[in-house]
Structure 1
Amino acid sequence: MCTSFTLQDADTTIVARTMDFGFELDGRPVVFPRNYLFHTQLGREISFPYGFMGTGNPKMGDLLADGINEKGVTVMELYFPNEAVYQEQSDATKLNLAPHELLMWILGTIDSVASLKQNITTIQLVAAKNPILQVVLPLHFIVSDETGETIVLESSAKGLELKENPVNVMTNSPELEWHLKNLNNYIGLQTQNFATKNFQELTAHPFGQGSGTFGLPGGFTGPERFVRMAFLRANIQTEQGYDALLANTLSLLETVTIPKGVNIKNDGSIDYTQYKAFYDTKKRSYFFRPYTQSETYQLTLTEELLSLEEPKDFPITQDFVTHIL
């Protein structure tokens, strides 16, 4: 599952996501310092010149599900079931990575979307299982930088394909082109109320405020969340200052948050929004809110964090916090 989008004003680019999953990730902020030595599952060692942070867990090893590096590049991986295609054999002319390792390589070595476009052809994704989940994860990726440029990476039989993303939204399957074409079915959505309409001698009126959004999908499938977020993101106000931009980001995330218990997977596990995370690509700040929390944690990449000797995680409380007046 999961939904991701960017939101901008004149000064700031925010990249946001929900993490919807059935397996309990116990996600928390984790920082990887500069020059971290990353060991791939296929036997390579890579020294990452850039430091970065994101959502991980020491029990999950040196892997993140989303993150931002010191250059402002932000990456999020989302499930891409029945669509992701990987190579079965390594290619000696390329850097071969497991699907769940691509995010780490981007954060550790790439300084912009332009740089990713130049270097992505050196990478091949191989069908290697995630060591914790013991499955080959079907993933695709949304990547942004501090300029606000946003692209999607999807792996097909053709290999890794880099795709422009004109709506700056991503959910799950099908592929990005399908989601974009599907928006043609919703051109009747609007922010204003519909006018009255005559049916012969009867004049029909909207029942109330919000009639222009009649037909906006409300379910939790990938296509429904994509349409919902594309419409809301395109119309939400953004020129209201930094605090308002952050508040709007959280408001948008709430529209695709899956409550625990309403979406049961075939294996009986509960797929729900385990956390919300969003990143300021210019300030290099990371905002994190777990499902049970009413408050948001913030962490900013500082020179001190980038110079750590080893990765550092930041345990968080799951308590619901209120302010007593």
Structure 2
Amino acid sequence: MCTAATYKTKDFYFGRTLDYEFSYGDEITVTPRKFPFEFRHMGKRDSHYAIIGMAHVAGGYPLYYDAINEKGVGMAGLNFVGNAVYQAVEAGRDNVAQFEFIPWILGQCADLDEVRALLDRMNLVGTPFSEQLPSAQLHWIIADRNAAITVECMADGMHIHENPVGVLTNNPPFETQMFLLNNYQGLSPKQPENTFAEQLQLQSYSRGMGALGLPGDLSSASRFAKVAFTKMNSKSGDSEAESISQFFHILGSVDQQRGCCEVTDGKYEITLYTSCCNADKGIYYYTTYENHQITGVDMHHCDLDGSELFRYPLVQGEQIHWMN
């Protein structure tokens, strides 16, 4: 299970947690403008916008989990198991396989208006990458500095939802997640006033009681509400250090610790990594479960006019700054 979010101060930030019980061997991967993408149904594209993100590289192909492009558009795919149903290949439409969706969008779109235009003529199909890597059941958040949308492909077709909170988790579908926020409309970062009964002298006996009732469990719906509340009430300075620090704190509110979410006997879901991308500057920051020190990769330090992938294995192992 995962959580994605957007954040804007002076710059625009985009990122996510990836929560799972094992890693596929993920790497920060920069795809330069001349890397040849061979789409299963849409032919070959030899030129496109440069992309940086987290990917599993299989057979030289970057299978992106989340990424931004050089124009400032971000995109992430999150598990949507039981609800994701992909479309059939249809003549006269842009038929894009699920695993190609991120490079298809980020390779061509400079803003969300261009994303919407591309989606309008697209079918999202279930063509697998390989027998060993079948199509994952996902939905997506796509955003630029001005807005965000959620894309869900279900049994009744593709749905494109405006996403005013700039947050996505997993099930239930996005419209239901947004509706459930109605349950928390009375919450506040301020101390509560007694509206229970004016005859009773009720008191706030602790700080933070304005948010009493905000869920803290690890379910998708609870994480959606928790991150939406945290993000929408978040305050920080607009420097790079203050902004990325605050972003990691926002997603840290739903961090998953080993032992708290058992998926099978002795197997536990954990937050494998947390990402924070400065989409304006093309920088991908991340932490991992074993390494809380923020590591950064700047796409503009690579040759973006090249044709070969740039791959950076994750820095693992806690990095402790000793003071004596």
Corresponding residue SS for 2:62: coil
- With over 3 angstroms needed to count, the CA separation of the structure-2 counterparts of 1:297 and 1:303, relative to structure 1, is closer
Alpha-carbon offset, residue 129 of structure 1:
3.2
> CA separation in 2, counterparts of 1:92 and 1:127?
15
Alpha-carbon offset, residue 268 of structure 1:
6.1
> CA separation in 2, counterparts of 1:208 and 1:50?
51
Corresponding residue SS for 2:165: coil
> CA separation in 2, counterparts of 1:226 and 1:54?
23
Alpha-carbon offset, residue 253 of structure 1:
1.3
- With over 3 angstroms needed to count, the CA separation of the structure-2 counterparts of 1:153 and 1:43, relative to structure 1, is closer
> CA separation in 2, counterparts of 1:25 and 1:132?
16
**Residue of 277, 286, 289 corresponding to 2:287:** 289
Query: Which letter maps to 1:315?
Result: P
Q: Deviations for 1:230-267, whole angstroms, at most 9, x for unmatched residues?
A: 11111111345332111110111111111122212258
Corresponding residue SS for 1:250: helix
Alignment of 1:190-205 (within 5 A): 190-195=188-193, 203-205=201-203
Alpha-carbon offset, residue 43 of structure 1:
7.7
**Residue of 178, 203, 206 corresponding to 1:180:** 178
Matched, 1:79 2:79: yes
Partner of 2:296: 298
Matched, 1:234 2:232: yes
Corresponding residue SS for 2:268: coil
Partner of 1:57: 56
Query: Which letter maps to 1:115?
Result: E
Corresponding residue SS for 1:265: strand
Corresponding residue SS for 1:36: coil
Alpha-carbon offset, residue 311 of structure 1:
0.6
Partner of 1:66: 66
Query: Which letter maps to 2:26?
Result: G
Alpha-carbon offset, residue 42 of structure 1:
4.9
Partner of 2:30: 31
- With over 3 angstroms needed to count, the CA separation of the structure-2 counterparts of 1:121 and 1:195, relative to structure 1, is closer
Does the 8 Å CA contact 2:52/2:282 hold for their aligned counterparts? no
Query: Which letter maps to 1:71?
Result: K
Matched, 1:309 2:307: yes
Alignment of 1:9-24 (within 5 A): 9=9, 11-24=10-23
Alignment of 1:217-296 (within 5 A): 217-266=215-264, 269-296=267-294
Corresponding residue SS for 2:224: helix
> CA separation in 2, counterparts of 1:268 and 1:161?
37
Return 70-79 or 54-63, whichever deviates more. Answer: 54-63
> CA separation in 1, counterparts of 2:131 and 2:236?
40
Query: Which letter maps to 2:62?
Result: D
Give the share of equivalent positions with the same residue, in percent.
27
Corresponding residue SS for 1:310: coil
Q: Deviations for 1:137-194, whole angstroms, at most 9, x for unmatched residues?
A: 111111112x332111111234332211111111111111111111111112111122
Partner of 1:157: 155
- Count of residue pairs brought into register by the alignment: 322
Return 243-252 or 147-156, whichever deviates more. Answer: 147-156
- With over 3 angstroms needed to count, the CA separation of the structure-2 counterparts of 1:271 and 1:131, relative to structure 1, is farther
Matched, 1:138 2:137: yes
Alpha-carbon offset, residue 39 of structure 1:
2.3
Corresponding residue SS for 1:203: coil
Does the 8 Å CA contact 1:193/1:211 hold for their aligned counterparts? yes
Does the 8 Å CA contact 2:31/2:310 hold for their aligned counterparts? yes
Corresponding residue SS for 2:262: coil
Does the 8 Å CA contact 1:124/1:159 hold for their aligned counterparts? no
Report the TM-score when normalising by structure 2: 0.91
- With over 3 angstroms needed to count, the CA separation of the structure-2 counterparts of 1:200 and 1:66, relative to structure 1, is closer
> CA separation in 1, counterparts of 2:247 and 2:228?
13
Partner of 2:118: 119
Report the TM-score when normalising by structure 1: 0.91
Alpha-carbon offset, residue 7 of structure 1:
1.0
Query: Which letter maps to 2:295?
Result: Y
Query: Which letter maps to 2:160?
Result: L
> CA separation in 1, counterparts of 2:244 and 2:217?
25
Corresponding residue SS for 1:277: strand
Provide the aligned C-alpha RMSD in A: 2.2
Query: Which letter maps to 2:149?
Result: I
Query: Which letter maps to 1:27?
Result: D
Does the 8 Å CA contact 1:48/1:109 hold for their aligned counterparts? no
- With over 3 angstroms needed to count, the CA separation of the structure-2 counterparts of 1:95 and 1:214, relative to structure 1, is same
Does the 8 Å CA contact 1:8/1:148 hold for their aligned counterparts? no
> CA separation in 2, counterparts of 1:52 and 1:25?
20
Return 100-109 or 200-209, whichever deviates more. Answer: 200-209
